[in-house]
A and B are shown apart, each in its own frame.
Chain A
């Protein structure tokens, strides 16, 4: 095959609709920097570190290349985003790129050999032939909606939505992830209340950052259910918090764990019960409403439903809420008053809010806090961000291709669209819980094929993943494609066809997943072996599998760069122009409700039915038949000491999952020696008094168990936890067991993925919205591994 030539700007459009932005909004000034130069006999390439490996950020990176080989990387000091910093995972990226276990070529395996290392090397052409043939067969025998495309998190692969759309399937998502319990509960709550989503303002929208005169440092910040420095969640570089602390910001921390930042909060560390966040949020809301600490002027002008909220919280009992949250009344009152009095004040929250039954409701209450105190869309508050220039494609909510390639008839077949109204209201992913229900009941239908794009759900998101695998995925899925960089437990368990994916060093693209800027992912080296970037795979495969009626617009591009030119057209620049600039920041505005920038009709206010920030959500009002509450509320998690007190005797403890480790992105990097050496074993953190009751010594392996399952962890003592609470890490599997296991052919139970897997204990649950499942508040018992 001849190399396709990329001519900037000469791209085909992938839509019959006109461009969205006739005149793109202006671009902010950024430093003029070259994207490549020679240094020390090496070529330096300036780009963005995203992805693979997985990450939620878009750090600027300088890649040093000699003779076509990546020698080292450095954080880009010129990049406003990370300002030279990098974390441990990128700082050993050459070890990742050239790892001896990297998958170097496509493979196939007989369906009957799933779980066994009986893969056979094939060419890309044969892999595509098989996929094309099997997808066509499934479509003809059952219907295209029986094919689902699944991803993980933190990867620039959201463009996969175009692939399922072009062949006629509306089903893309994370169907194994109960309650879509990562950010979607918060995002969807904010969207229903505000018509938009907010993020804490650390000046990240402004290329001059802290020096921009428009910016104001928050006086006070509540860090809620979040370990910013180790998780770097959702386009938020955690150490921005440090930058602000150096500039005078004080913090409060809501966390069952005394994190390092919690130790800086002093008395304002609120050691919340896992799953008690909603009660705490309502308690704080009550203090602010009862004491009239809200911003009256702001609420009069811009907020809808304040009186209704005040009435609701007036009827609640503060002591009861505090008791539910396991936080003292004095602490709640003080933090609520301090937050309300500070200006500006911000809340930076984490995934802990999503991973409980009442996650969506807790997010509603927390969002209400920054709305009624007037910290909405102001410098140093919680600001509204939108996709840059309306370029949705890099965002996971963008659903690239969904509207232009799928028929109305196929839209209606998306799993969960009828079951959960919030999934019908603009979140165009399949509902995980509706899929779990579909596996259980057969209604509306059981999917038959899947493409898992660089996702290892058995180790990460899958609630009771062994049950999911054995009862549903293995039996129902007639055909499975898995792309990844390494052989994972998920690939070993399920793949009929393996596609080797590539890292950010080996591909061209652009970084998204944030509303601040668009930055260039700039190829430094050719892909290792025969590996290909995910987006190259989507483009090449899409040309083959698109329905005849979609062929002209589905994938009309010869190269990914031409595809990016089309994706970027609403910004008014080409991919090559982006590479020349490295970053493009749209000019940012604060207080957009005052300028008519939020509403489609150009009127002042918010993009909501009332035009106001709706504490009383009209979306929830119209769909309240489904159990959605228009007002902030508190929902107790299922299987908690309060919702199931009869279980306390057998399961006296609450284990919370997902304690973050800086060196691993969820289930990744366990095979990178330098990183693993810093954290070799899966740990559970336990109060020594609790351990003593069970004759557990520090370093012992213990079992954590409830009615759904059990798992094994190494005990690490920490007497700052509540003695009733344990915290376990997640994402563990053991790539090193590959060789040991080959002798008996079993792959050591898929690299031990079910052994130290806290998700074994997670119920298949979700709140009434379909969002929020109980990953972080699991009643359990413990005992020593004998």
Chain B
């Protein structure tokens, strides 16, 4: 776990693609998301959403067997962001973190310019969801 994946030419190509320049997004460290779903409620409270509206939702992937003998399983929780997510523009404008990032119990979320948070990616199962133009 947490082995740094060797950098490849492909990585550089994607990074230099440039389409995401100027985008802001959320960095998710899937290694630590426990599925507590505090983020969903934090988002709803911040935006005054009802139970039918949410800027973030968490999907359970697993548990599935990879190698039963070694007790190797696929079992992750993956947060995804929706049309209702505005990266908490109001809060961020006042110098705060987005509500989901602030309250994440596993502290597995971060946010910022995509090109900046891309530099924080250090191991597998970390991902960036680009959300809006800065």
Contacts and interface: CB of A to CB of B under 8 A. Distances in A.
Interface of A: 40, 72-75, 77, 84-88, 91-92, 94, 229-230, 238-239, 242-243, 245-246, 258, 260-261, 263, 265-267, 269, 662-663, 673-678, 718-720
Contact of B103 (A86, A258, A260, A663): A86
Contacts of A720: 63, 65, 73
A300 to B, nearest CB: 38
A492 B44 CA distance: 32
6 closest cross-chain pairs (CB), A and B:
A91-B41, A263-B75, A677-B51, A229-B34, A88-B41, A674-B51
A91 B38 contact: yes
Given A77-B102, A92-B45, A94-B45, A87 B75 contact: no
A87 B45 CA distance: 12
Contacts of A84: 102-103
B37 A92 contact: no
Contacts of A269: 71
A61 to B, nearest CB: 11
Nearest to B60: A260
A229 B32 CA distance: 11
A87 B38 contact: yes
B91 to A, nearest CB: 10
A674 B41 contact: yes
Interface stretch (B3-11, B12-20, B104-112): B104-112
Contacts of B34: 229, 238-239, 242, 260-261
Interface centre among A75, A87, A91, A239 (most CB of B within 10 A): A91
A86 B42 contact: yes
A323 B103 CA distance: 43
B134 interface: no
Contacts of A243: 107
B19 to A, nearest CB: 32
A154 to B, nearest CB: 17
Contacts of A230: 36
Interface of B: 32, 34-38, 40-42, 44-46, 50-52, 62-63, 65, 70-73, 75, 77, 94, 102-108
Contacts of A87: 36, 38, 105
12 contacts: A74-B103, A86-B105, A87-B105, A91-B103, A229-B35, A239-B105, A239-B107, A246-B32, A263-B62, A662-B36, A678-B37, A719-B65
Contact of A85 (B35, B38, B50): B38
Nearest to A94: B45
A662 B107 contact: no
A266 to B, nearest CB: 6
A91 B103 CA distance: 9
Contacts of B103: 74-75, 84-86, 91
B77 A260 contact: yes
Given A72-B45, A77-B102, A263-B62, A678 B40 contact: yes
A78 to B, nearest CB: 13
A677 B49 CA distance: 13
A242 B107 contact: yes
B129 to A, nearest CB: 20
Nearest to B70: A267
Given A85-B107, A229-B105, A239-B106, A266 B72 contact: yes
Given A88-B36, A266-B70, 4 more contacts: A86-B42, A238-B34, A239-B105, A243-B107
B63 A662 contact: no
A561 to B, nearest CB: 30
A162 B105 CA distance: 36
A245 B32 contact: yes
A242 B52 CA distance: 30
Nearest to B53: A674
A663 B45 CA distance: 15
A750 to B, nearest CB: 25
Nearest to A86: B103
Given A242-B34, A662-B37, A674-B51, A263 B107 contact: no
A360 to B, nearest CB: 30
A657 to B, nearest CB: 21
Contact of B42 (A91, A675, A718): A91
Contacts of A75: 102-103
Contacts of B71: 265-267, 269
Contacts of B36: 87-88, 229-230, 239, 662
B63 A263 contact: yes
Contacts of B63: 258, 263, 718, 720
Contact of B44 (A92, A242, A260): A92
B56 to A, nearest CB: 12
Nearest to A77: B102
A720 B105 CA distance: 26
Given A87-B36, A92-B45, A260 B75 contact: yes
Nearest to A721: B63
B102 A674 contact: no
A92 B42 CA distance: 8
B81 to A, nearest CB: 17
A86 B37 CA distance: 10
Nearest to B106: A242
Contacts of A677: 51-52
Contacts of A265: 71
Contacts of A86: 38, 42, 103, 105
A263 B67 CA distance: 12
Interface centre among A73, A86, A676 (most CB of B within 10 A): A86
A678 B40 CA distance: 10
A674 B36 CA distance: 14
A88 B45 CA distance: 10
Nearest to A718: B63
Interface centre among A85, A676, A719 (most CB of B within 10 A): A85
A85 B34 CA distance: 14
A167 to B, nearest CB: 42
A74 B62 contact: no
Contact of B105 (A40, A85, A663): A85
A72 B46 contact: yes
A258 B75 contact: yes
B2 to A, nearest CB: 9
Contacts of A73: 45
B41 A85 contact: no
A673 B75 contact: no
Contacts of A673: 50-51
Interface centre among B32, B51, B105 (most CB of A within 10 A): B105
